[in-house]
């Protein structure tokens, strides 16, 4: 039985009572909306892997929204590939429920704007598959192992491939970690926002005694402390670390807390929450967030 057959079964999704829907994506579901956004932010890795698949990448599939008039349905395609213009082609991998414009095993082409997810199986680990993860997150904990067994995959936090730039909070964190690997203090400083970090630190004090000068002075102290502890100490090393960013907490539009999971070459694992701020020049990293906050 193929992988999608394990996920979807032979019956239509609506006929499989008691099993999670693998097709319907509710607009009001924030977890699913974030999954689709995350899939598109990391789609570049899927495309690059398709061009040059590695021996450990044993399976590729991509999910698209198929439209039939006003009705839309998210369907997985097997054997995906892109043409020179970036258009997607593949084979319908699960029986459509709501749309009648395509059928199981039909080869189709579709504009890349309709992509909603992708997955690669690397060994037995699921990489990507963000909507699948969102569905799994909605299953009771005591049923998750059974779900993993049914699809024949190892589903952990995954490995995320955001681009290292300031367009996303995750990209800002990766940029800082790349600066650590280069041992470049100027690049590391450029990834930080000491002003907002100082402002947040001082916010627990009496606001009546906090003014702009105090914030700027505190920011300068934080920057000097960062330089001293980074440049004069042992530089953090992320060169062989696998990373996932399973959660975003939007405190407000300009301050998000990002959860980062790291797997180290020696088998160790760490989980940390990092504050990030949105500036006029993109996202920047603050510091570790105390669980008590």
Q: Are 81 and 89 in contact (CB under 8 A)?
A: yes
**In which residue are the tokens 């504050």 written?**
275
User: pLDDT value at position 208?
Assistant: 64
User: pLDDT value at position 148?
Assistant: 81
Beta-bridged to residue 288, according to DSSP, are: 274
> What's the CA gap between 102 and 261, in Å, rounded?
39
Q: Are 181 and 239 in contact (CB under 8 A)?
A: yes
> What's the CA gap between 132 and 93, in Å, rounded?
15
**In which residue are the tokens 């009705």 written?**
71
User: pLDDT value at position 2?
Assistant: 54
**In which residue are the tokens 């429920």 written?**
97
User: pLDDT value at position 23?
Assistant: 39
> What's the CA gap between 274 and 269, in Å, rounded?
16
User: pLDDT value at position 204?
Assistant: 75
Compute the CA torsion angle 149, 152, 154, 160 (nearest 10 deg).
-130
Q: Are 157 and 261 in contact (CB under 8 A)?
A: yes
Q: Which residues contact 2 (CB under 8 A, 6 or more apart)?
A: 78
User: pLDDT value at position 4?
Assistant: 56
Q: What's the CA angle centered on 165, arms 162 and 168, to 5 degrees?
A: 60
Q: What is the mean pLDDT of each run of 10 residues along the chain (293 residues)?
A: 50 36 48 90 96 93 92 92 91 91 93 94 89 87 84 82 96 97 95 93 72 90 92 87 92 94 91 95 92 50
| Burial of 19 (C-beta count, 10 Å sphere; 0-12/13-18/19+) | middle
Q: What is the DSSP string of the chain?
A: --HHHHHH-SS-GGG-TTS--SS---TT-HHHHHHHHHHHHTHHHHHHHHHS--TTEEEEEEEEEEEETTEEEEEEEEEEEE-TT--EEEEE-S--SS--S--TT-EEEE-GGGEEEEEEEETTEEEE-HHHHHHHHTS-HHHHHHHHHHHT-B-SS------SSSSSHHHHHHHHHHHHHHT-HHHHHHTB-HHHHHHHHHTTS-GGG--HHHHHHHHHHHHHHHHHHHHSSPPP--TT-EEEEEEEEEEETTEEEEEEEEE-TTS-EEEEEEEEEEETTEEEEEEEPPTT-
User: pLDDT value at position 231?
Assistant: 81
């Amino acid at each position: 039985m193929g992988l999608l057959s394990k996920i979807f079964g032979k019956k239509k999704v609506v006929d499989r009572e008691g099993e999670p829907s693998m097709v319907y994506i509710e607009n009001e579901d924030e977890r699913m909306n974030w999954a689709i956004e995350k899939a598109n932010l990391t789609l570049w890795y899927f495309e690059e892997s398709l061009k040059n698949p590695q021996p450990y990448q044993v399976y590729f599939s991509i999910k698209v929204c198929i439209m039939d008039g006003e009705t839309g349905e998210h369907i997985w395609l097997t054997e995906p590939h892109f043409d020179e213009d970036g258009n997607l082609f593949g084979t319908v991998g699960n029986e459509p429920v709501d749309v009648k414009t395509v059928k199981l095993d039909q080869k189709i082409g579709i504009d890349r704007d309709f992509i909603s997810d992708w997955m690669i199986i690397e060994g037995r680990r699921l990489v990507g598959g963000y909507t699948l993860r969102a569905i799994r997150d909605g299953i009771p904990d005591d049923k998750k192992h059974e779900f993993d067994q049914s699809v024949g995959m190892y589903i952990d936090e995954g490995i995320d491939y955001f681009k290292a730039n300031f367009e996303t909070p995750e990209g800002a964190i990766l940029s800082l970690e790349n600066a650590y690997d280069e041992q470049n203090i100027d690049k590391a400083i450029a990834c930080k926002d000491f002003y907002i970090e100082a402002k947040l630190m001082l916010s627990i004090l009496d606001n009546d005694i906090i003014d702009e000068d105090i914030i700027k002075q505190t920011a300068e102290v934080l920057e000097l402390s960062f330089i001293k502890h980074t440049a004069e100490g042992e530089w953090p090393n992320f060169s062989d670390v696998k990373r996932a960013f399973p959660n975003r907490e939007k405190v407000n539009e300009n301050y998000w807390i990002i959860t980062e999971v790291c797997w180290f070459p020696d088998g160790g694992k760490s989980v940390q929450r990092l504050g990030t701020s949105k500036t006029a020049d993109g996202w920047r990293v603050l510091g570790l967030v105390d669980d008590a906050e």
